[in-house]
Structure 1
């Protein structure tokens, strides 16, 4: 059963990639020299270990064996589109998720802060918002499956994020709390 779920999530992420690439239009897809990158990452959550692609820090809310996949397409004429799919999490529950600056580590804090296009205070709504960061909040269905998508008008420069972190709840936008989504529950390494 686990192999089927892994294959199913991989196919879903691959289908998302094909749809996004097709959605860029023939001119964009064939345009030579257009800077950009397509990234697909997926993993099965487990305790931290060297080389582990997906790490859980809270097995109650992100159980070992749950899965996640990320597709990111960045093009100068398109901006950056990022999609997240998860399976095997707690059913009918809200989670927060963001793109972070560093790779996953033995604790959630190892992934560093949220990646910001224009860097500023992490709780200031002028910087901590879904136009300057990549927010991927989602709510799981009865099967523990959830999806999220983000589109921003910018692309990555020399600074590139390295992970997606799943948080305890949807992201706050209130002053002094902007960007906050509670404890870091899990992390997926992504080669953005």
Structure 2
């Protein structure tokens, strides 16, 4: 049983790199996919996916995040299973890794950083400048979203995907998944 719990709690990662066409020129392509099962911050076997609200994100529910693209071009996809059916979740890429305290992940990753933090200016807090992955869980508790941008993450600038209790710019944090995001170029 412990081995099964450990296998479910540890993130699985698939990294692939290879040649491809980006913008008509021969350029390297990048793809990364990581996944994990959510556990409370006090779980005996820690997970890179932490639930702060087990009604909305039950322990044992799962998340997968994929990042792909090439220089100056990026897509991020989130897929979840086991969520509260019919609930509309906000989901965003945040600057730091998850922690036991929901605030540990810091603020939203911003392509153009707001000089005033915490950021509340709509010129910076919007789906064009941030990675918004809002979704509504289906009847079976699964859901997902993809955000595409003509830019890529700065090295060390993005560290997690946070699931919020409501869609839109921000709100209370229901769960967090630490993701090793990186520039795609």
Normalised to the residue count of structure 1, the TM-score between the two structures is 0.77
Match for residue 33 of structure 2? 40
Match for residue 190 of structure 1? 179
How far residue 107 of structure 1 moved from its aligned partner, in angstroms, is 1.5
Given candidates 139, 144, 163, the residue that maps to 1:147 is 144
**Are 1:41 and 1:189, in contact at CA under 8 Å, matched by a contact in 2?**
no
How far residue 52 of structure 1 moved from its aligned partner, in angstroms, is 1.8
Deviations 1:78-102 (A, max 9, x none): x110000000000011000000000
Deviations 1:5-62 (A, max 9, x none): x7xxx8xx97xx99xx9xxx95239935x4x642211110001258521000011110
**Are 2:91 and 2:162, in contact at CA under 8 Å, matched by a contact in 1?**
yes
Q: For 1:87 and 1:30, how far apart are their aligned partners in 2?
A: 37
Match for residue 133 of structure 1? 130
The list of structure 1 runs, each at least 4 consecutive aligned residues, that deviate by more than 6 angstroms after superposition, is: none
Normalised to the residue count of structure 2, the TM-score between the two structures is 0.80
> 1:150 aligns to what SS in structure 2?
strand
- Aligned-residue CA RMSD (Å): 2.9
Q: For 1:60 and 1:133, how far apart are their aligned partners in 2?
A: 27
Q: For 2:121 and 2:165, how far apart are their aligned partners in 1?
A: 20
More helix by share: 1
Q: For 1:51 and 1:40, how far apart are their aligned partners in 2?
A: 20
Q: For 1:130 and 1:46, how far apart are their aligned partners in 2?
A: 28
Deviations 1:84-135 (A, max 9, x none): 0000000011000000000010021000000001111421110000111000
Gaps of 5+ in 2: none
> 1:31 aligns to what SS in structure 2?
strand
1:40-189 to 2 correspondences below 5 Å: 40-48=33-41, 52-77=47-72, 79-120=73-114, 121=116, 122-171=119-168, 179-180=169-170, 182-189=171-178
